[in-house]
């Protein structure tokens, strides 16, 4: 079953450009190395300043578990911490159809 | 620029299965006919009963505008109304990277 993820990331004021460059490289690695990843798109809120949302789709739970265990994703964790202005909110959704 | 959409749809209690069948066919038409659509995935909330979220990605604003103008999407509008338990919330997001 497809799994959807919406990751809401509040980023520190003034760090948007640096965060976008960091995340674009991470997304490139995800898309290049994870056949079970269907989509991994960074987006920026139009209504909440400094808020980004990552829209993610995986073909199944195994693909999501694999994503979380990759070396580049684990290495990204401490770097994320340097950009965040607050707690990220991660929502997991069950794909239909 | 990529455009993301998160459509939150509260569905009437007991109509989930019928709604899922209806939406699966709509999604099939979107994916088959819209080269500018990158993703169009129905998902079900794990935390809010009877709440569905559609995760959508378009390659640009033109592709999103085209989606809204298709015959099948316009025809789906009145059918959606018969499933909804409340106002849908549609969030538009600007793609990065």
**Which residues of chain B make contact with A44, given a CB cutoff of 8 A?**
93-94, 96
Q: How far is CA A38 from CA A5, A14, B59, in A?
A: 11, 31, 15
* Structural domain that includes position A89: 3-94
Q: How many domains is chain A built from?
A: 1
Closest by CA position to B20, among listed B43, B46, B49? B43
Residues A19-62: pLDDT tens digits?
A: 999 999 999 999 999 999 999 999 999 999 999 999 999 999 99
**Which residues of chain A make contact with B93, given a CB cutoff of 8 A?**
43-46, 53, 55
Q: What is the ipTM of this complex?
A: 0.95
Q: Could you tell me the CATH number of the domain that includes residue B42? A: 3.30.70.100
Q: How far is CA A67 from CA A57, A70, A82, in A?
A: 11, 6, 21
Residues B43-90: pLDDT tens digits?
A: 999 999 999 999 999 999 999 999 999 999 999 999 999 999 999 999
């Amino acid at each position: 079953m497809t799994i959807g993820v919406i990751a809401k990331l509040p980023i520190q004021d003034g760090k948007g450009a640096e965060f976008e460059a960091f995340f674009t490289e991470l997304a490139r690695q995800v898309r290049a190395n994870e056949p079970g990843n269907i989509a991994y798109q960074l987006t920026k809120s139009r209504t909440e300043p400094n808020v980004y949302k990552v829209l993610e789709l995986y073909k199944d739970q195994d693909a999501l578990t694999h994503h979380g265990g990759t070396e580049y994703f684990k290495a990204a964790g401490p770097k994320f911490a340097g950009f965040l202005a607050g707690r990220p909110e991660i929502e997991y959704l069950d794909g239909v159809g």
